[in-house]
Amino acid sequence: MESDINDQLGAARGASLDPVPPTEVTRSEGSSGRWWRLFRIGIGAGILGFLLTQTDLEAAWRVVANARLELLLLAFASVVGSRIVASVRWYLLVRARHATTLFGVIRLTFISNFAGYFMPGGLGVEVLRVYGLAKTTADPAFSAASVLVERVVALGVLVLLVLVGMASRPLGLPAEIDRLAWLCLALLVFGVLAIMVRLTRRLALGMLPGKRLAPIRGGLQKVFAALDAYRSRPALIAGSFLLALIFQLMRCASVTASAAALGHPVPLTFIMVVYPIMLLISLLPISIAGLGVREAGFVYFLGLAGMPVEIALPLALIQRLFTILVILPGGWWYLRHGLRG
């Protein structure tokens, strides 16, 4: 496996693609970046505040106080397990070229999740993962390719879950979600073709003319070579897809168990449809870490299943709390190791 990828990367070996430190990106934001960050915080806080005004807080507190602890622990364990599965999936993709350790990849996964969640500047978790792996392996192009492949596979699984869930025709789902799922699938297929078809690649390279942009062109060629190397390993991609499926099912199971713990069970097939959509909506860059946006998604979509806001909003906040608790070890590792696996 390693020799195949090494051979395909050899043609672009002479180019460089040095990663820009996240701290430098943050410093270069300027006042406009700070104002945009404050605006996003305000949007998220405003949405969350509005949801609170629409909630009977006393009733919501009674729901949380009477929650079944054993189901909440099961939901939290599912979140922890999903993070480990995600790390193993990335480790298999990285191991295709570099003899890294599973623990190192797990540590980098938690560090990047923590830093991406709490650090200012709006840096995406994926950018931090690429940068951290590049520092560890001294191979920025392959680092970018491994994260890109992992993201494409994960998006494919999200769309698959929506389509499979819709096949059961859960009650309460509007017809628009059906069309939205097929649109997402079409966009995913188009995106994969765009990075794999030679014509699109030539167009991308043609947009970077001149000697000054030669290092970037060369680095992009190395990323393309790494992507081609992954394409030649169907068993590896199939394994990654299977782990991504397990990862997403564990996340859906966490929401299902949390809903049952709060006294309003929701079918797993329903969660399989709406949870991926809620995740995609929360990625919109209008708030920090999806604050407010994700909670609004829970209230709206779970409301389709008859869940009152006094349950849906605590459920969303519990899921956010689980996320924060799970990535806290990444903060300790970040202080000790920085963005490095």
Q: Give residue 32's domain range.
A: 2-337
> Is the Cβ–Cβ distance between 109 and 243 less than 8 Å?
no
Share of the chain above pLDDT 90, in %: 23
- Spatial CA neighbour of 240 closest among 339, 149, 112: 149
- Which is it for the CA torsion 254, 259, 262, 263, positive or negative? negative
| Low-confidence stretches of the chain (pLDDT beneath 70) | 1-33, 118-123, 166, 168-181, 184-185, 187-189, 191-196, 205, 219, 226, 339-341
Within 8 A by CB and 6+ apart from 23, the residues are none
pLDDT of residue 181: 65
Q: How far apart are CA 81 and CA 272, in angstroms?
A: 18
Q: How many CA atoms lie within 13 A of 208 on its CB side?
A: 14
Q: What is the pLDDT of residues 223-233, one digit of tens each?
A: 777 677 777 78
pTM above 0.75, yes or no: yes
pLDDT of residue 333: 87
Write the burial class of residue 146 (CB in 10 Å: 0-12 exposed, 13-18 middle, 19+ buried): buried
Residues 323, 254, 326: CA angle, nearest 5 degrees: 25
At position 133, the amino acid (one-letter code) is L
pLDDT of residue 170: 60
Residues 288, 294, 296: CA angle, nearest 5 degrees: 120
Q: What is the pLDDT of residues 160-171, one digit of tens each?
A: 777 777 676 665
Q: How far apart are CA 62 and CA 263, in angstroms?
A: 11
Tally of domains in the chain: 1
Q: How far apart are CA 23 and CA 213, in angstroms?
A: 23
